[in-house]
Amino acid sequence: MSITETLINKLTDQDKTRPRSVQTQVGVSEIGGCGTRIWHKVNGTEVTNPDTLRLAAIMGTALHSMIEEVFEPDERFKVETEVAIGDILGHIDLIDTETNTIWDWKTTTKNSLAYFGSRQQMLQVQMYGWLANQNGIKIDRVGLVAIARDGNETDIVEKSWAYDEALALEAVNRYHEIKQQFEPPAPEKDAKFCANYCPFFGACAGIVEPTPTDVIANLEIATLAEDYKDIQGQIKTLTAQQDFIKEKLDGTTGVTATGTVIKWSQVAGRQTTDEAEVEKLLGFVPKKQGNGYSRLTIK
């Protein structure tokens, strides 16, 4: 076994023993996710896919633990506060008792920061506020702090909102609607995704044969799809503008009055194998199959 395999096994084994990993109550962070997964957990479905990919979550847990250690000695802050109402359980990362504000740490990547503070994330932290207030802990504001794993201090982003019980109950009501169903909701992701990330894959097959005609009920996903279309259009427009400017600058070298340097240089063309010559010499052309990948089309 390689050292990489040993590392992953040890991290995974330790992660499976964490209280959050073995809790049977539905966590607040799960309620905004896949309704099928929530339904199976509420109904006590046996885990059928225990070996999901979890390294990103493990790294997030490690960072949470480190942050907890540095805040714990300060009496102004309460760290890792457990709150529950019925079968809904939440672990609040940090409560600032001077401002009555909840803070939830989120580990992410720099590419994801543009969408940090999504409606799902906001509803999650509003639910923490609801659970806290229901348990006698006064909360006036709720907030999120994003820490990019591939960034530095200047990339940290924080967002906060006034506590809004109506928003919190929106998420709570969704949970109760799912809980009361006799059958699980339709799966939201295809089988390949579920096989990597859902502990109930097997009990749920995911979307086996996804088609572009499947109706997407998740409003956040629908919004992201529309944003993707807009960005595609902007890229096409900007590329056309760039090509036009490049054509106009052809033959011009120098520096503008504002200090912008215009310089042209020759770049060698990409070398390729002369397949016709290889076939003459060998009688065939050896081929090597590259790794497949998923292509996204949104129109």
49-83 per-position pLDDT tens digit = 988 988 888 888 889 999 999 999 999 999 999 99
Reported residue count of the chain is: 299
pTM for this structure?
Answer: 0.77
What does the block give as tokens for 217?
A: 């009920």
Question: Hey, which residues does 101 pair with through a beta bridge?
Answer: 96, 141
What does the block give as tokens for 287?
A: 């081929």
Query: What is residue 298's predicted lDDT score, i.e. its pLDDT?
Result: 85
Most confident of the ranges 8-17, 204-213, 237-246 = 237-246
Domain range list for the chain: 3-214, 216-250
Most confident of the ranges 103-107, 226-230, 269-273 = 103-107
Does the pLDDT value for residue 22 go beyond 70?
no
Q: Which residues contact 56 (CB under 8 A, 6 or more apart)?
A: 107, 149
Percentage of residues in the chain with pLDDT exceeding 70? Answer: 98
What does the block give as tokens for 141?
A: 């504001």
Does the pLDDT value for residue 135 go beyond 90?
yes
Between strands 254-255 and 88-96, the pairing is unpaired
How far apart (Å, rounded) are the C-alpha atoms in residues 176 and 159? 28
Query: What is residue 138's predicted lDDT score, i.e. its pLDDT?
Result: 96
Query: What is residue 23's predicted lDDT score, i.e. its pLDDT?
Result: 64
Nearest to 88 by CA among 40, 136, 38: 38
How far apart (Å, rounded) are the C-alpha atoms in residues 139 and 101? 6
**Residue 207 in 3-state DSSP?**
strand
Query: What is residue 290's predicted lDDT score, i.e. its pLDDT?
Result: 83
What does the block give as tokens for 298?
A: 């949104």
Does the pLDDT value for residue 32 go beyond 90?
no
Confidence category of residue 133, pLDDT binned at 50, 70, 90: very high
194-223 per-position pLDDT tens digit = 999 999 999 999 988 888 877 777 777 888
Residue predicted with more confidence, 16 or 160: 160
Alpha-helical regions (H) of the chain: 3-16, 19-22, 28-31, 35-42, 55-71, 119-134, 165-179, 191-197, 219-249, 275-282
CA–CA distances in Å: residue 264 to residues 146, 241, 244, 259, 261 = 41, 19, 16, 16, 10
How far apart (Å, rounded) are the C-alpha atoms in residues 217 and 214? 9
Does the pLDDT value for residue 21 go beyond 70?
no
Query: What is residue 20's predicted lDDT score, i.e. its pLDDT?
Result: 65
What does the block give as tokens for 216?
A: 């997407």
Mean pLDDT of 99-108: 96
What does the block give as tokens for 34?
A: 């896949």
DSSP per-residue codes, 128-173: HHHHHHHTT---SEEEEEEEETT--GGG-EEEEEE--HHHHHHHHH
Does the pLDDT value for residue 19 go beyond 90?
no
Look at the domain 3-214 and name its fold. Answer: Lambda Exonuclease; Chain A (3.90.320)
219-234 per-position pLDDT tens digit = 778 888 898 899 999 9
Count Cβ atoms below 10 Å from residue 112 Cβ, excluding itself. 14
Does the pLDDT value for residue 18 go beyond 80?
no
**Position 34, amino acid:** C
Mean pLDDT of 122-143: 96
Does the pLDDT value for residue 137 go beyond 80?
yes
